[in-house]
Amino acid sequence: MKTVVVGLSGGVDSSVAAFLLKEQGYHVIGLFMKNWHDDSVTISNECPWLEDSNDAMLVAEKLGIPFQTVDLSKEYKKRIVDYMFNEYALGRTPNPDILCNREIKFDVFMNIALNLGADYVATGHYCRKKSFKKNGVQIYQLFAGQDDTKDQSYFLCQLSQIQLSKTLFPLGSLLKSEVRRIAQKENLITAEKRDSQGLCFIGKVKLPEFLQQKLKPKEGVIVEIPTNYKGYQNQKKGWQSIEKALISKSRKIIYSQSDGIIVGKHQGAHYFTKGQRKGLGVGGTTQPLYVIETDVNDNIIYVGRGNNHPGLFKSTLFVENKELHWVREDLRLNKGDHLHVMARIRYRQPLQKAQIFKVDHGLYVSFETEQSAITEGQFVAWYLHNELVGSGVIA
């Protein structure tokens, strides 16, 4: 009998994943990850992890499976929280959920599970895994979940072949409504529980409040850039090579305070991200203002009026070699290669037609239509049909 350790989070998805695996004849062990108890940074007055670990324990009891809690807070602080503070301080916007999967669930947690004698680790993610043989080697594939509205493949875009080989996703071919129905039928305490919002495993925290505890407020100005700003006209056509065109299209526009007018003040450029509309505190404009760029060195936020402002849009982004990751190593491109793919730059974004181009120092992703708020530090993931084959951090 194969042993599988399920990451029981105290939510409905992981509860049903554990139930299904037990039904399939696996020896199932439930493990709850405690990822945060740093009193120097308060998360919220409620303590969600206590309630969640209690729910996870009750589910394990109901299913008759062994259960324990593992404390990963030291690793979580080092690999996720410190990294996040550092990225925000640099004016980039990290994705804690993707990092949590890569660094914690499918690394630290997976190693604990395998040391307990597990053959596999399972999670409640909505995605599917398949495999096939190629030249005698087993190749593992990561596909989007059957439920389009819940597909979580994007969050797993940094997984490796080794990690995939040891992972099971029991919910991949189910709809969320079916998962809820199974939980109700089995009288699981999590059946009606709402999906958790907030940072991966930290709980119900609002990001600005979290950041303000480590990144000190610092007053600066908000500058509105007009739609006819000269820099937008300079993105001309007629390049000598594809690479020169890609460099030009992916280039970051550098604004200065004299390019627009001061419309307000803020408490720190590092609290804001591209495409953000809320929290600017500037009223009385004919259309909402959107952040089009942040400058953490000079502590200036640049905004544009309306969600069609040209400062929000770009068709091309770049990923440096060191930030490039192939789930399907066998499909890795060589310098000069290009490939037609479908890609997304954020969770839940419908897949967009794009081409990827491998150059000496990295990879360009060029979209057929311009994308709003391409943000440094976030992840781009590319797919062939609905198989996720690679990803990278946007430079």
Q: Give the residue numbers marked as catalytic.
A: 100, 200
CB 219 within 8 A of CB 211: no
Burial pattern 358-379, b for ≥16 Cβ within 10 A else e, equals bbeebbbbbbeeebbbbbbbbb
CB 139 within 8 A of CB 185: no
Q: What residues contact 392, with CB distance under 8 A and at least 6 apart?
A: 319, 320, 323, 324, 325, 362, 363, 379, 380
Among 316, 290, 310, 305, CA closest to 231: 310
Strand-pair category, 338-344 with 300-305: unpaired
Residues paired with residue 60 on neighbouring β-strands, in sequence order: none
- Tell the residue number behind the tokens 């949590």, with chain if given: 100
Burial pattern 180-206, b for ≥16 Cβ within 10 A else e, equals bebbeeeebbbbebeebebbbbbbebe
